[in-house]
Structure formats: C-alpha cells, structure tokens
C-alpha cells in the first residue's frame, strides 16, 4: 500500500507542475508566469509580455460606441475599436488611401528576448494583414525586423533578419501570400521604438514592422 501511494504521488508530481505552468487568467495567450499585464480585455492583441502597446492601438475619440469613425480618428491612440477601423481601411476602394490607412494602425509582431519564433498571441495581426491583402493583392509588404540593444551588432543584425524571415515564411505558408510581394530586411537595433533602458521599452523594440505600399 505504501509503495502504491508513493508511486501515485510521484506521478502526480510529474503532471501538476505542467498543468499550473499554463495558467492564463485573462485568456490573452500569454501564461501568467510570463504575463506582465494579467487583466487585459478579451480579444485584445498583446505584445509578447502580455501587455498592450498603447502607442499603436486605436480609440474612438468621441467616446461613442458606434460603427462610424471620423477621418481624423484613424491612427489616433483602447483596443475595442481596432478591428473595426482595420476593416474600414481594408474596404477603401483607393489602394493608396487603403495602404496609408492600414499602415497607420497596424501593430507590429512582437518577440520574446533572443527569439525569432512567432508566438500564438501575435497571430491576430497576421490575420488582419491577410484580410487586407486579400482585398488589395497588388500592394507590396516590407517586413522590417528589429531587436533591443542587448547583444552585439552581428548577433542583433542576424536576429532581426531572422525575425523578418519568420514572418515572411508564415505569410507565405499559412496565409497564401505571394513570395514576390514581400521584402525582408534586418534593422538590428538601429530604429528603436522605445527606450532600451527599460524592460518595457526593450519589449517594444523586439518586433517586426509592416510597411505596406501600393505599387
């Protein structure tokens, strides 16, 4: 009996830690042990650390919960309206206007430190890009990979390019993009989006940005 009880405890000890390792209180795809913001709203696109990039996201400035947005609101900075504005950009008949509109609100894809694998939390951004390109297949996409300041120039240049290539591969293989419509470039840490002296700033700098242009 003692042996059976011991074996049971050993087996439970093997499974319980893994179960608790993936507790996601706010259902944003980032486990609590890595989530710096554990109370983000449902369906919010977050960075790799589970927080919202408030410099990118969009608000309805007049505070009305409606389906119409003034031209001046596109690109302003609360997340519940981001998908609606993205849809309005996608449906613009003029491809140049649509490219400018969509480029002004599209959030980068963010990465963990020293990683180039694309997290599941970042997939909603790729879905929006795919929906837009399906409406305007003639546009070109430039993927700019970036890193934080930690590491040598050679390492960061290679990592930034690897991140851009990872996004390109996903767009081609999972979202049916044409390879000829995508350009990739590594920027290393030369164009920081935030202060590298802070943890939050370095998180925002580990990214791939989408530059969308009309042909």
70 vs 107, more confident: 107
Q: Is the pLDDT of residue 103 over 80?
A: no
Q: Are 165 and 174 in contact (CB under 8 A)?
A: no
Q: Are 35 and 28 in contact (CB under 8 A)?
A: yes
Instruction: Work out the percent of the chain whose per-residue pLDDT is above 90.
Output: 34
77 vs 82, more confident: 82
pLDDT digits (tens, 9 = 90+) for 49-77: 667 665 544 433 333 444 433 333 333 33
Stretch among 87-91, 166-170, 199-203 having the lowest mean pLDDT: 87-91
24 vs 149, more confident: 149
pLDDT digits (tens, 9 = 90+) for 119-128: 988 888 888 8
* Cα–Cα distance measured from residue 28 to residue 109, given in angstroms and rounded to the nearest whole number: 15
Stretch among 12-26, 46-60, 88-102, 139-153 having the lowest mean pLDDT: 12-26
Give the number of other CB atoms < 10 A from CB of residue 82.
21
SS3 for 161?
Answer: helix
Instruction: Work out the percent of the chain whose per-residue pLDDT is above 70.
Output: 61
Closest alpha carbon to 142 in 94, 93, 88, 191? 191
Residues paired with 212 in a beta bridge: 141
Q: Is the pLDDT of residue 199 over 70?
A: yes
Sequence length of the chain is: 215
């Amino acid at each position: 009996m003692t042996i059976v009880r011991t074996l049971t405890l050993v087996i439970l000890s093997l499974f319980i830690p893994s179960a608790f390792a993936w507790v996601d209180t706010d259902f944003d795809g980032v486990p609590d042990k890595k989530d710096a913001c554990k109370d983000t709203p449902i369906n919010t696109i977050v960075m790799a650390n589970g927080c919202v990039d408030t410099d990118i996201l969009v608000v309805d400035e007049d505070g009305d919960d409606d389906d119409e947005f003034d031209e001046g609101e596109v690109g302003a900075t609360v997340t519940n309206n981001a998908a609606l504005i993205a849809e309005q950009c996608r449906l613009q008949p003029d491809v140049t206007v649509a490219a400018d509109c969509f480029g002004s609100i599209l959030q980068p894809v963010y990465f963990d430190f020293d990683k180039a694998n694309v997290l599941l939390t970042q997939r909603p951004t790729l879905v929006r890009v795919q929906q837009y390109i399906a409406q305007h297949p003639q546009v070109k996409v430039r993927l700019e990979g970036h890193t934080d300041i930690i590491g040598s120039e050679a390492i960061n240049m290679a990592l930034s390019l690897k991140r851009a290539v990872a996004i390109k591969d996903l767009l081609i293989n999972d979202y049916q993009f044409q390879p000829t419509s995508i350009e990739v470039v590594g920027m290393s840490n030369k164009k920081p989006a935030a202060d590298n002296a802070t943890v939050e700033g370095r998180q925002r700098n580990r990214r791939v940005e989408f530059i969308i242009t009309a042909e």
